[in-house]
Amino acid sequence: MSNDQYYGGQQYDPYANGTGNANGTGSGSGHQEQQGPDVTQTWEGQTWDTQFQPAVTYEQVRADRAQAAQGRQGHQQQPHQPQQQQPYEAYASSQASYESYGTPAAYYAEPQHQQPQPPQAQPQHQSQPVAAPAPAPAPVAEPVPAPPAPSAPSGEAGPGWSSPTTSGNTRITDAQRARAEGRSPVIEPGMQPAALTAVLGLLLAGGAALGTYALLVPLVLLQGLTAAGWFRLNGMWPARQGIALAFAGGLAADAALLVTGRENAAAAIFGTLGVWVLLCLVLQLRSHADPDERMYGLMATIASAALAVVATGHLGADPDAVVVGGVAVAAAVLARALPLPGPVSLIAALLASAGAGIAAGGLADLGSSGALLGLGAGVCALVGLRVASYDYPSRFVHMTAGVALPLTAAAPAVYLLGRALV
């Protein structure tokens, strides 16, 4: 048996004439009805596009054929209710009967797992494919807030900031601690730098009592500490060239004073200072740094060189005045370092410097003039100590500028008051 009657242009229909049997012979005219052009054969299988093209039931096909037959023959045919058939499987058994294999319901019946759709009023060629439902939007994951950090119990809170000291701290410096707490930018050097200042002042007094060249050794140490401390106090480190230039200016002033003698000390000091300022200007003009940085470096270098040169005043002053001045400065810085309130500490330092001046002046036959000389040296020393305590200084600043600036600032007072009183 050929498959042309199933897949060809004209399909065999046993119910076309209303009286036919399975073999196509009936009591009628025996004429085999031709299929209408509006009836199409569809393959109903488990394919990927079944949800877009709905299945066609056999009742719809029968209704379409009845309408076509009415138009052609002018009379209505009553369709026979076919026997319920099972869906046609793609891989049917070879022993299937002819009726079950050839029945059109095998092609048009829906699969068993799908619900049959009700008959549609319009013909098959006018049915539109069912649109697929729009996919539901994917849920948007809301950000999960991070769990709050566990707070330490109030009893286990870190220790509060202590008062600034010069003993150092392995975790944070005194300057960083004061800056973090928002306290005053002035931090006193403390007792240890004050003790070093007192030792250096006594060395100057002892060197002046022994002779000029004995005084030169502690003076050179004082000038070196002054040059390095001033640069570090201004936040410029390392500044080896500037420190070396300022220190060389102090040494040049010492050499000029030794050559010209104490009688011409002022000329040697001011002459050396003028030359060194000009030298600093020339060197800064040759620098390739930014203009702001160049100006800042110029001012720091000139100030450091000027202080180192001014310290030479101890070498040009009278030896008795240097003795009284060194002792007075030592007493003033030690009294200032005592743990006393601010005004009380200041008054105690001034009184200590005047008392030390009286004591040292009595040994040098100065009498009451020693008190005035000691008081003047003490005031200048406190000014230098205040400068070394400004702008959150570090421990290095305290051990350099904090040690040297009190003695360096007292040099002009020692030189001028010494020449006036002695």
Q: Which two tokens stand for residue 86?
A: 């099972």
Spatial separation of the C-alpha atoms in residues 268 and 140, rounded to whole Å:
85
Give the integer Cα–Cα distance in Å for 182 and 346. 24
Residue 53 — pLDDT band, cuts 50, 70, 90?
A: low
Distance CA 270, CA 25 (A): 145
What is the C-alpha end-to-end distance of the chain, expressed in Å? 150
Amino acid letter, residue 54: P
**Among the ranges given (100-114, 182-196, 210-224, 291-305), the one the predictor scored with the smallest mean pLDDT:** 100-114
Question: How is residue 344 written in tokens?
Answer: 């009380």
* pTM exceeds 0.75, yes or no: no
Model confidence at 43, pLDDT cuts 50, 70, 90, reads low
Does residue 92 have a pLDDT over 70?
no
Q: What distance separates the 2 farthest-apart alpha carbons in the chain?
A: 167
pLDDT (average), residues 197-225: 95
Considering the chain, what is the average pLDDT of its residues? 75
pLDDT given at position 184: 79
For the residues 39-56, what does the mean pLDDT come to?
54
The CA distance from 382 to 5, in Å, is: 126
Amino acid at position 235, single letter: G
